[in-house]
Amino acid sequence: MIDFAAIPAVQRIPLNTKFCTTADVLRLDLVHPVISGNKWYKLKHYIEVARQQEKNTLLTFGGAYSNHIVATAAAAEMAGFRSIGIIRGERPAQLSPSLQQAASNHMQLIFSSREDYRLKKIPDTLNLRPHDYFCIAEGGYGALGAQGVADIIMPLQEKYSHILCAVGTGTTLAGIVKSGSAAAIGISSLKNNTQLHNAVNDLLSTDMKNKFSILHQYHFGGYARHTPELIMFMNDWYRQTGIPTDFVYTGKLFFAFTDLLKQGHFSKSDRVLIVHSGGLQGNRSLSKGTLIF
Ligand SMILES: *Cc1c(COP(=O)(O)O)cnc(C)c1O
C-alpha cells in the first residue's frame, strides 16, 4: 500500500529568467508507476469512511480513459475491497489500456449508455445491497477528496507564494485552497467549463470561497484533446527537466506555467510550487513514438 503520510519528492526547476526565484515540482507522478498521483490522495478518506461503514465494495464512475477508474481499481484491491466501475458508453471491441489495467486489478466493469451514465444509474442487475457498497463520485469529486489533497500540501504551504495545479473536477484545486494561504491557480484542461469555479467553491467553507483562480486558455482544444504544439512542448519539457507529463492534464499545466513565466505573471520574490498530478498511464493511448519518454 502507498504510504499516504510520506511527503513525495520535490524537484527544483532551473529557471533562466529574472522573474520568480523558485519553481519546484511536487512529483506525485513518482508515487506509483501506473497510477495517477493525485488520485491516491483523493481516494484516501473515501476508503477510510468505507472501512468505518463496513462496506465491502467501492463503486465509481468514469470514461474509458479515466485515471480515476484505474486508481480506484488499484486502491480498492490493495485495501481489500471489491470494486465496480460504471463506464460511460458501450463496451468497445477492444478495452482501452486504462480499462485493461482496471480489469487486471479485478474491477468489475459495467458499461452504461450515455443517458444512463449521465443520470449516474446503478443497474438493478448488479443486485447490490445498499449497505455493502460505497459510492465515490465521478473523478473522485468531493470534500473528502479535497481533504486528502490538503493533507499532503499543508506541510509544504509556507515555502511557497503560489501553487499551481491541473483542473478536471476541481477537487485537487479545492484541496490546495484548503491547505493554506498561498495563491492557488488552477489550469483547466476542459474547454469553456464555466461551472468549474462553482464546483470548487462548493467544496470550500465560506471563508475560503473564491480564494483561487482558474485559467481557461490552456485547454488545447478541450478535454483529452492535443495539438502538435502541446506534444512538442511536452518533449521539450522532458529534455529540459527530465519530467514526463501527460497530454490530458500535466502537459497543459507545465505549458501554462512556462507561458505565465514568459508573460511576467510572477514577480521577483515569488516562489512557485507546481503539483505534478501524475496521469502518465493515459499516454498509452497515443501512438508509439509521439513522445520521447
Ligand atoms: C484527475 C486528474 C487531474 C484533475 O484533478 P481534479 O481533482 O479532478 O481537478 C489532474 N491531473 C491528473 C493527472 C489527473 O489524473
With a pLDDT cut of 90, the percent of the chain lying above it is 87
| Alpha carbon distance 170, 96 (integer Å) | 25
pTM as predicted? 0.96
| Bigger pLDDT: 271 vs 35 | 271
How many angstroms does the Cα of residue 213 sit away from the middle of ligand 1?
Answer: 16
**Tens of pLDDT, residues 129-149:** 989 999 999 999 999 999 999
Cα Rg for the chain, rounded, in angstroms?
19
Over range 67-80, report the average pLDDT.
95
| Alpha carbon distance 44, 75 (integer Å) | 9
Cβ of 72 below 6 Å from ligand 1? no
Most ligand 1 atoms within 8 A of CB, residue of 27, 30, 35, 36 to mutate: 36
pLDDT tops 90 at residue 281: no
**Tens of pLDDT, residues 14-73:** 887 666 678 999 999 998 776 668 998 999 999 999 999 999 999 999 999 999 999 999
CB 192 within 8 A of CB 217: no
- Of the chain, the end-to-end C-alpha distance in Å amounts to 27
Bridge partner residues of 57 (DSSP): 82, 133
With a pLDDT cut of 70, the percent of the chain lying above it is 96
pLDDT value, residue 244: 97
Which residues touch 10 (CB under 8 Å, ≥6 apart)? 24, 25, 26, 27, 156, 273
pLDDT tops 70 at residue 1: no
